[in-house]
Chains A and B, each alone.
Chain A
Amino acid sequence: MSGALGNWGVPLAVAAGAIRISTPFIFVSLGECITERSGRINLGLEGTLVMGAMVGYGGSYLTGSPWLGVLAAGLVGVVLGGLHGLLCSRPRVNDIAVGIGLMLFGLGLAFFLGKPLIQPSAARLPAIPLGFWSQSSQVQDALRVNVLFIFGVLLAPAVSFALRRTRWGLIVRTVGESAEAARAMGYDVNRVRTLATMAGGFLAGVGGSFLSLFYPGSWNEGLSSGQGLMAVALVIFARWDPIRCLYASLLFGGASALGPALQAVGVTSGYYLFNAAPYALTLLIMVMSSSATRTSADQPAELTVAR
Chain B
Amino acid sequence: MNESSPAPPDPAGATERLPKALIDGGRAPGADLGRRLEPFLISVGALCVALLIFGVFLAVDGLNPLDVYAEMFRGAFGTWFSFQNTLQRAAPLMLTALCTALPAQLGLVVIGGEGALVVGGVAAAVAGLAMSHASPYAVLTAMFFAGTFAGGLWIAAVGALRAYRGVNETISSLLLAYIAIALMNHLVEGPLRDPASLNKPATRHIGELNMLGPMPGLDVHWGLFYGVIACLCGWLLMKRTVFGFAASMTGGNLRAALLSGLRVKRLIVVTCFLAGAAAGLAGMVEVAAVHGRANASLVAGYGYTGILVAFVARQNPLGVLPVALLLGGIGASGGLLQRHFNLPDASVNVLQGILFMVILAAETLYGRFSAWSFGRRSAPSRPVGAAA
Contacts and interface: CB of A to CB of B under 8 A. Distances in A.
B346 A111 contact: yes
A272 B182 contact: yes
Interface stretch (B17-25, B170-178, B222-230, B284-292): B170-178
A262 to B, nearest CB: 14
A225 to B, nearest CB: 7
A276 B179 contact: yes
A100 B346 contact: no
Contact of A91 (B163, B346, B364): B364
A177 to B, nearest CB: 16
A105 B356 contact: yes
A101 B344 contact: no
Interface string B40-61: 0000000000000000000000
A271 B354 CA distance: 37
Given A104-B353, A279-B175, A307-B168, A94 B385 contact: yes
Residues of A contacting B: mostly: helix
A90 B359 CA distance: 13
Contacts of B65: none
Nearest to A225: B178
B152 to A, nearest CB: 19
Contacts of B161: 287, 290
Contacts of A270: 186, 190
A111 B349 CA distance: 9
A96 B308 CA distance: 13
Contacts of B350: 105, 108-109, 112
Interface residues on B, range: 35 or more
Contacts of A304: 385-386, 388
B88 interface: no
Contact of B182 (A87, A97, A236, A276): A276
Nearest to B388: A304
Nearest to A102: B357
A305 B364 contact: no
B353 A108 contact: yes
A94 B168 contact: no
Residues of B contacting A: mostly: helix
A150 B308 CA distance: 39
B353 A229 contact: no
Given A233-B171, A305-B388, A111 B344 contact: yes
A34 interface: no
B168 A269 contact: no
B384 interface: yes
Interface in B345-388: 345-354, 356-357, 359-361, 363-364, 366, 383-386, 388
Interface string A157-178: 0000000000000000000000
Contacts of B190: 269-270
Given A108-B346, A108-B353, A286-B172, A97 B388 contact: no
Given A91-B11, A112-B346, 7 more contacts: A91-B13, A93-B383, A94-B384, A279-B178, A280-B175, A287-B167, A292-B165
16 contacts: A87-B361, A96-B384, A97-B384, A100-B311, A104-B356, A221-B346, A270-B190, A271-B186, A271-B189, A272-B182, A273-B186, A287-B165, A287-B167, A292-B165, A293-B166, A305-B385
